[in-house]
Amino acid sequence: MTIKPRILVTRRHLFEIEKRLLDEYDVVLNEDDHIMTSDEIISASDGIQAIFLCVTEPLSKEVINALPKSVTVILTLSAGVDHIDLKSARERGLAVLATPGAVTSATAEVGVLLMLGAARRAQESISCLRSGNWGLWTATQFVGVEITGKQLGIYGMGRIGQKLAKRARGFDMDIYYHNRNRLSPDLEEKAVYLRNIEDLLGVSNFLALCAPSTPHTHKFLNSDTIRCLPDGAVIINIARGNLVDDDALITALKSGKIAAAGLDVFNGEPTNIDQRYFELPNVFMLPHIGSASREARIAMGMMLLDGYEAIRNGGVAQNRVA
């Protein structure tokens, strides 16, 4: 009888993912879906070969070093891996698998939603309607701006940035971007590469943050970069909350320097978001739903399990990040 690998699954998942897990592995499942503490994860990992986790379970150096020696693979249901100390994972000999590519279309769609919601004052409109305070229609009520024909600057032209650019072209937007490296002409699809970040900011009626969270991108959007944007620019963030200096963005939103923001990610999410955002009518907010489509979540889970099987069979997991 073949002994199934034992996997700790820290959160509940869609039916298709859990079915495959239960069919193919010996699963220790967090039945009530509470966010497991580091101590709980360490304790539950005794005799475990792989941990299937989410961004809600950060793995610090201390946690990684405290994991039982039986654990050899970490599977994270996320494209970003800033919640895992990759250096410590490598030193420990842990393989870390993520889901690059699986979230691309879903996240780009949310980027378009944020652009439209922020530009067309959706937050104010929805709040007014739901509160019963709509009153009479007027010709000046909730007047926003169109995204059609505007200039979109993309900071970080990876998979998601490229997909967002493709979607934005459907609105006849002109695309500009800044990236560590210029893309090949076939990937640019006539987007304009701007080496200097000040040049990108200067042309961006809409600025989309699509870069990964790194020490270099931390607080990229700050008082200095905001100053370079056109008056009345619109900001969207589908990357990570720590790309934004909250004090600087909130100040600019209050002054009108930034007309509106569409945010799917935040510093301190989910429980310690800067409360001033909730008081601003010109902020269109979503609770980090970039990858929250059935298609994306199923693809993410399957990508992780396919990668794990590749490693178990002596092959190479294409989605391995450490």
* Catalytic residue annotation: 240, 269, 288
Judge contact between 155 and 208, C-beta under 8 A: yes
Q: Helix, strand or coil for residue 89?
A: helix
Q: How many angstroms separate the most distant Cα atoms in the chain?
A: 74
What angle, 0 to 180 degrees and rounded to 10, lies between the N-to-C axes of helices 104-119 and 294-312? 150
- Rounded to the nearest 5 percent, the helix, strand and coil shares of the chain are 35, 15, 45
Assess whether the previous peptide bond of 287 is cis (omega < 30° from 0): no
Edge-to-edge strand list for the sheet holding 50-53: 26-29, 6-9, 50-53, 73-76, 95-97
- What residues does 281 pair with on adjacent strands? none
Provide the token pair at 259: 């007309």
CA-nearest of 78, 39, 83, 33 to 57 is 83
Amino acid at site 64? I
